[in-house]
Amino acid sequence: MTAADSYPPSSPQAPVVVAHGGAGADSQHKDGCAAAAEAGLARLRGGADAVQAAVAAVGVLEDDPRFNAGTGSVLRMDGVTIEMDAAVMDSQGRLGAVAGLRRVRHPVEVAAAVADTPHWLLCGEGALRFARHIGAADHDPTTAQALHKHAAMLKDLQQGKRLIPGEDNASFAQYWNFATPLAVAPGQACDTVGAVVRDAAGRFAVAGSTGGCAPALLGRVGDTPIIGAGFYAGPAGAVAVTGIGEHIVRHLLAHTVHGWLAGGMRLPQALQRALTLFDPAIDIGLIAVSATESGARSNRDMPWAAAGDAQLP
């Protein structure tokens, strides 16, 4: 089913925030995206810049256990580990990301803090130590829903259901890299949350956060924290991508779409064209904002919402 093909009107330079809850996620969870977009817009109205608004929007989704980011993230194949990825970027060149981060409540805030360091991306143990250094408290993002989802995925694996398009389930057993043994003979959950923002000054920002895809080996990183793949912000706008990261990275999708916008393509056409790059079996979704337009498109159900001022103040 194709979702998300209406485009809210937005005046040039009128502030707007668009938030999504992941390609393949339940579109009935749109209320969570609306709350996130409104939170971002409230920050803009309070004087925050585009990045701060995007981080605020994504933070709301990380706290909503219905979404696969922060609290509610999917479990890795051992049924215990949660590794999260997040990123932020704006059209002024601000850039920060984390990958494989464990036990924090708001990975997107850690990603935003990385932008202040000499680096753009921290991963694993170093990202966790950095998170504690900036005051991010220990937080277990495991939820009952995530445990239930994991059990359902194991059941699918046991029944031989192919969980990743084009991938043999047996490869997870072949390359198993957890300290604990594989509990089943070698189901699928993805989803990511994201937000794109245009502020009153015409600056653009993007933020994203995810628990990744399931099934996944320990240490797997998708597109969400990879610049140009899962996210990009530049002079022509901001783009956030969701779907199966292994496919998204090969198209540098967010940067590719930004390039189309910079070349003058209308935003709805650019998002639609992005979907045509992929086999329909691959979950893909995008949200974007340009100087004059904003919107979303997915080849699956995808909850999303926009909030914005219709007129310039």
Active site residues: 192
Task: Identify the residue among 69, 77, 87, 213 touching ligand ASP (CB under 6 A).
Answer: 213
Site map 4..33 versus ligand ASP, x via CB under 6 A? ------------------xx----------
| Region near ligand ASP per CB under 6 A, out of 130-138, 170-178, 242-250, 256-264 | 242-250
Q: Should residue 222 be labelled a site residue for ligand ASP when binding is judged by CB under 6 A? A: yes
| 79 Rama sector, left if φ>0, alpha if ψ -120 to 50, beta otherwise | left
Q: Should residue 245 be labelled a site residue for ligand ASP when binding is judged by CB under 6 A? A: yes
Q: Should residue 256 be labelled a site residue for ligand ASP when binding is judged by CB under 6 A? A: no
Structure tokens, 252: 């540098």
132 Cβ contact partners less than 8 Å away, ≥ 6 residues apart: 138
| Region near ligand ASP per CB under 6 A, out of 40-48, 126-134, 149-157, 239-247 | 239-247
Rg of the chain in Å (alpha carbons): 18
Q: Should residue 164 be labelled a site residue for ligand ASP when binding is judged by CB under 6 A? A: no
Q: How far is the CB of 172 from ligand ASP (least distance, A)?
A: 16
Q: How far is the CB of 119 from ligand ASP (least distance, A)?
A: 21
- Contact between 88 and 110 under an 8 Å Cβ cutoff? The reply is no
Q: Should residue 73 be labelled a site residue for ligand ASP when binding is judged by CB under 6 A? A: no
- Contact between 184 and 78 under an 8 Å Cβ cutoff? The reply is no
DSSP assignment of 38-86 equals: HHHHHHHHTT--HHHHHHHHHHHHHH-TTSSSSTTPPP-TTSS---EEE
Residue type, position 162, single letter = R
Which of 203/247 has CB closer to ligand ASP?
247
Peptide bond between residue 165 and the one before it cis (omega within 30 degrees of 0)? no
Task: Identify the residue among 62, 223, 293, 301 touching ligand ASP (CB under 6 A).
Answer: 223
- Report the half-sphere exposure of 287 (CA within 13 A, side-chain side): 32
Residues of the shown chain interacting with ligand ASP in the complex, contacts defined by CB under 6 A: 22-23, 190-192, 210, 212-213, 222-224, 230, 242-245
